[in-house]
Chain A
Amino acid sequence: MSNLVFKSASDLVELLQKGEVSSVQLTQAFLDRIEKLNPAINAFLHVSAEGALATAAEVDRRRAAGENLPELAGLPIAVKDNLTTVDAPTTAGSKILEGWVPQYDATVVSLLRAQLMPILGKTNMDEFAMGSSTENSAFGPTGNPWALDRIPGGSGGGSAAAVGAFLAPLAIGSDTGGSIRYPASMTGTVGVKPTYGAVSRYGLIALGSSLDQIGPVSRTVLDGALLQDVIAGHDKHDSTSLPATLGSMTEAAKNGDLKGVRVGVIKQLQGEGFQAGVQARFDEAIDLLTAAGAQIVEVDCPSFEHAIAAYYLILPAEASSNLAKFDSVRFGLRVTPDGNPTIERVMAATREAGFGPEVKRRIIMGTFALSSGSYDAYYGSAQKIRTLIQRDFAKAFELADVLVSPTAPTTAFKIGEKNEDPLAMYLNDIATIPANLAGIPGISLPIGTADEDGLPVGIQFLAPAMQDARLYQVGAALESILVNKWGKDMAHFAQAGTMAAPASEAN
């Protein structure tokens, strides 16, 4: 069954449960494909073949013995490299952590292990999740499965490319300003940022603690729901973890429905600044929603104009504080200057050698935002903008059940195209950032390709806090209309594109 890797996670779960495929067989199929394609794509920084196969063998043994196994037992998964794993190096894409093997598992990793899901490996990312292209990884960029010379989005480009190139059926991502949703949009895959606090952040190497959220990366909405149901829930190790559970996302995805749903089109997130082919697919999607019975309204969110500025003050401020822990004392790199240096000199030399340019830029920016002369004017204002954005959302959700926008202003750009222009790079996140500032959930799913370049376009739905189920319900309904039209999930078309490698799977 060489085409196993092309099946959806939900189909594979069914095959596993019926015993029609073994977990070892399935895991080996993904490992083979990773071995063949990862050198070109660079989606994985580390492959855990031995550990994955051991878990798979355990599942097969216990299933054969007639044991009742967890829902996703035996289904392989990839994990972003900013989640700690006791049996694999965890670098967060940084030289400063090269070779570090953590002493504990992230809660999400423990939950995957409890499900008996073989962990295929750790995926590439922008250093400490700072970036939207994965070009800031200290271990080289990741290629987009649709065109290897283009960015897969970031920061979780590795997870999105792994899933988009069928190197894994599912992956874990983290989203601070769009790092799950933006790569999903760039690679024709599905990504969900759950409500802040819905998934434990314990063991996630923190970037912006008031913004970070772990979530699922998949090729279908239902697959994402299966994964969110496994990783969500209260965790006493994370003080920001929500006390309440949010219900079954799988049920919501299986009951996709648009009839009577009020969909608010965000006035500020379309038109000017959005690529023609992106806008065209978005407008068509709105027509499909209307035809399926949704009620379209326009909503006004005037404070979104300042969202990027607010985000790029708050995020660096939080990051500069979070990254202070990389000080050459407890883990990671230590660089000792000549002579008889003090610890401060060792720290400064280590951080100079260990951090890449974007990380240094943001730490310096954050230090500026928090310094006494600029705190009120910049950081203080940014926190007030955050309140205004929350108020915009609250008003919009009085008129609509979900809000909608393109996920990103453009399709995937060429590797190297924007890397020297941080401001241009920051604009990629214009549509995704407001959700993080407000803590609300969002999903990106593919809605076709842009006429001018044939590259994937994503649509983003946003829901009020705790209402993640609406995203799966509405997302699954739109997806089903589109897939009926296309004949298969969008990711399958990547093979027909410029990427030679996946097509060779046919031999």
Chain B
Amino acid sequence: MSEITPDLVRHLAGLARIDVTDAEVSRFTEQLSLIVDSMASIKAAVQGDVPATSHPIPMSNVFREDVVEPSLSQQEALSGAPDSADGRFRVHAILDEE
């Protein structure tokens, strides 16, 4: 029995900010169940104390000198935006009115 349910798919899609139709929920539930079930073996595959690898080539703390360099102008930065006003990105209300 898979842990992927329609409610979970709806919840995850909500977290990822993707509206999903009922048809998508049922298709993704079925497909993700198969995918997650096929991965179940991974939980038992690691025996003993194995460190996690998050990055293939070890590197740490990559810094550069703190000097000002040329960058995009305000106009350039806004040029791809769907909407802008007064030199800023314009978006819909952040909070509900209620």
Chain A residues engaging chain B, CB cutoff 8 angstroms: 100-104, 195-197, 210-211, 236, 239-240, 242, 303, 305-306, 309-310, 312-313, 320, 324, 327-334, 336, 340-349, 351-352, 355, 357, 360-361, 363-365, 367-368, 371, 374, 377-378, 380-388, 390, 422-423, 426, 436-440, 465
In the complex, A385→B13 CA distance in Å? 27
Q: Are B55 and A210 in contact (CB under 8 A)?
A: yes
Contacts beyond the supplied A101-B80, A240-B59, A331-B82: 7 A-B pairs with Cβ under 8 Å: A341-B93, A351-B16, A361-B28, A361-B32, A364-B12, A387-B50, A440-B56
Q: Are A347 and B52 in contact (CB under 8 A)?
A: no
Q: Are B56 and A210 in contact (CB under 8 A)?
A: yes
Interface residues of B in 21-59 (CB under 8 A from A): 21, 24, 27-28, 31-32, 34-36, 38-39, 41-43, 45-46, 50-57, 59
Could you jot down 26 A-B contacts, CB within 8 Å? A196-B56, A210-B55, A306-B42, A309-B38, A309-B41, A312-B35, A312-B39, A328-B82, A329-B91, A330-B77, A330-B80, A330-B81, A330-B89, A342-B95, A343-B92, A343-B94, A348-B18, A361-B32, A367-B13, A368-B4, A387-B51, A390-B53, A422-B34, A423-B34, A438-B56, A465-B56
Residue of B whose beta carbon sits closest to that of A389: B53
Provide the residues of chain B in CB contact with A104, threshold 8 Å: 72
In the complex, A381→B39 CA distance in Å? 10
B79 → A minimal CB distance (Å): 6
B6 → A minimal CB distance (Å): 12
Provide the residues of chain A in CB contact with B53, threshold 8 Å: 383-384, 386-387, 390
A302 → B minimal CB distance (Å): 10
Q: Are A309 and B39 in contact (CB under 8 A)?
A: yes
Q: Does B86 interact with chain A (Cβ within 8 Å)?
A: no
Q: Are B17 and A103 in contact (CB under 8 A)?
A: no
Q: Are A422 and B31 in contact (CB under 8 A)?
A: yes
Residue of B whose beta carbon sits closest to that of A341: B92
Q: Does B83 interact with chain A (Cβ within 8 Å)?
A: yes
Q: A361-B31, A364-B18, A384-B50 given as contacts; is B39 within 8 A of A346 (CB)?
A: no
Q: Are B57 and A387 in contact (CB under 8 A)?
A: no
Q: Does B66 interact with chain A (Cβ within 8 Å)?
A: no
Chain B contact residue count (CB 8 A cutoff):
56
Q: Are A360 and B54 in contact (CB under 8 A)?
A: no
In the complex, A295→B13 CA distance in Å? 52
Provide the residues of chain A in CB contact with B52, threshold 8 Å: 380, 383-384, 386-387
A116 → B minimal CB distance (Å): 23
A210 → B minimal CB distance (Å): 5
B37 → A minimal CB distance (Å): 10
Provide the residues of chain B in CB contact with A242, threshold 8 Å: 57
Q: Which 7 A-B pairs have the closest CB atoms?
A: A439-B56, A383-B52, A334-B82, A331-B80, A352-B19, A386-B53, A239-B62
In the complex, A343→B24 CA distance in Å? 23
In the complex, A426→B17 CA distance in Å? 25
Residue of B whose beta carbon sits closest to that of A346: B92
B26 → A minimal CB distance (Å): 13
Q: A346-B91, A363-B16 given as contacts; is B35 within 8 A of A385 (CB)?
A: no
Q: Are B28 and A382 in contact (CB under 8 A)?
A: no
Q: Are A423 and B19 in contact (CB under 8 A)?
A: no
Q: Are B18 and A306 in contact (CB under 8 A)?
A: no
In the complex, A365→B56 CA distance in Å? 22
> Which listed residue, A334, A365, A386, touches B83 by the CB 8 Å rule?
A334
In the complex, A235→B1 CA distance in Å? 49
Q: Are B57 and A197 in contact (CB under 8 A)?
A: yes
In the complex, A262→B26 CA distance in Å? 51
> Which listed residue, B31, B46, B51, touches A381 by the CB 8 Å rule?
B46
Q: Are A352 and B56 in contact (CB under 8 A)?
A: no
Q: Are A368 and B18 in contact (CB under 8 A)?
A: no
Q: Are A306 and B45 in contact (CB under 8 A)?
A: yes
Residue of A whose beta carbon sits closest to that of B65: A236
Q: Are B82 and A332 in contact (CB under 8 A)?
A: yes
In the complex, A236→B65 CA distance in Å? 10
Interface 1/0 per residue, B7-19 and A, CB below 8 Å: 0110011111111
B64 → A minimal CB distance (Å): 6
In the complex, A193→B7 CA distance in Å? 40
Residue of B whose beta carbon sits closest to that of A97: B80
> Which listed residue, B35, B55, B59, B89, touches A329 by the CB 8 Å rule?
B89
Provide the residues of chain A in CB contact with B83, threshold 8 Å: 334
Q: Are A378 and B39 in contact (CB under 8 A)?
A: yes
Provide the residues of chain B in CB contact with A388, threshold 8 Å: 45-46, 50
> Which listed residue, A340, A347, A386, A439, touches B17 by the CB 8 Å rule?
A347
Provide the residues of chain A in CB contact with B16, threshold 8 Å: 320, 324, 351, 363-364, 367
Q: Are A382 and B92 in contact (CB under 8 A)?
A: no
Provide the residues of chain A in CB contact with B59, threshold 8 Å: 197, 239-240
Q: Are B42 and A309 in contact (CB under 8 A)?
A: yes
Q: Are B43 and A367 in contact (CB under 8 A)?
A: no
> Which listed residue, B24, B46, B79, B82, touches A385 by the CB 8 Å rule?
B46
Q: Are B51 and A365 in contact (CB under 8 A)?
A: no
In the complex, A387→B48 CA distance in Å? 13
Provide the residues of chain B in CB contact with A324, threshold 8 Å: 16-17
